[in-house]
Chain A
Amino acid sequence: MGSSIYTNYEEIAAVLLFVIGFLNLLIQPNLVKKIIGLDVMDAAIYLFLAAKGYIAGRTAPIVTDGILSADHYINPIPAGLVLTGIVVSVSVSAVMMALTICLYREYRTLDLDEILVMLQEQETAQLQRIQRDEREGRSA
């Protein structure tokens, strides 16, 4: 174990948030909560990046009083990366919400496990119908 685990609170929180979101995504059967889990994972990544860019005692990267020294501002690169990422994550979750609405329209439930069982039953019903048709055809 390195020593910086006692100072990197943001990074530790980012790791925990990432794992919580990941677990949410994996074992939560509800589709809406799955989407929120993915958003939490996104936020964890952004938190990690922003924490990496922070430098103690410096100000935001906006030129004030004409000072152009690199010792005066924090690292602007993570901020630029995260800025575009936030907006893209919204569009990704909007697409997922649209898919959720389509799934709900088809199966009338938000529970992924129930949807799986329903799919299985649909398949069985289809098989049975084919079989019945065949039997009737043979007897006739």
Chain B
Amino acid sequence: MTALRILLLIFLIICAVAVSFSKRLLVSIIIYMAFSLIMSILWMILESPDLAITEAAVGAGVTSILFFVMLKKIQSIQMDPDQEDES
């Protein structure tokens, strides 16, 4: 159990570092999603199932979806020909 704990914690730290070193934003958002999932397993190990279910639904689900939608929105603004004429 201790080995699993340490392994998961090392994964967490690797994910947190990898977020800032990845070139593309999409990659860093997916890494953040993995971070949330590992977090939810850790909470299961820490005997807090309430937190595990909330983190899996909220952290890995809703936050990542919002990030994706934000990226999509930014891309659609980027491709907008009308607004580029204005600016």
Within 8 A of B (CB), among A34-48: 35-37, 39-40, 43, 46-47
For chain A, the bracket of interface size reads 35 or more
Q: A58-B47, A79-B50 are in contact. Are A104 and B66 (CB under 8 A)?
A: no
Contacts of B42 in A (CB 8 A): 10, 47
**B49 in contact with A36 (CB, 8 Å):** no
Contacts of B63 in A (CB 8 A): 39, 90, 93
Within 8 A of A (CB), among B46-85: 46-51, 54-55, 58-59, 62-63, 66-67, 70-71, 73-74, 77-78, 83
Q: A47-B42, A108-B87 are in contact. Are A82 and B51 (CB under 8 A)?
A: yes
**A53 in contact with B54 (CB, 8 Å):** no
Within 8 A of B (CB), among A20-76: 20-21, 23-24, 28, 30, 32-33, 35-37, 39-40, 43, 46-47, 50-51, 53-54, 58-60, 62, 74
The B contact surface, by secondary structure, is: helix
Using CB atoms and an 8 Å cutoff, list the residues of chain A in contact with chain B.
Answer: 9-10, 12-13, 16-17, 20-21, 23-24, 28, 30, 32-33, 35-37, 39-40, 43, 46-47, 50-51, 53-54, 58-60, 62, 74, 78-79, 82-83, 86-87, 90, 93-94, 97, 100-101, 104-105, 108, 110
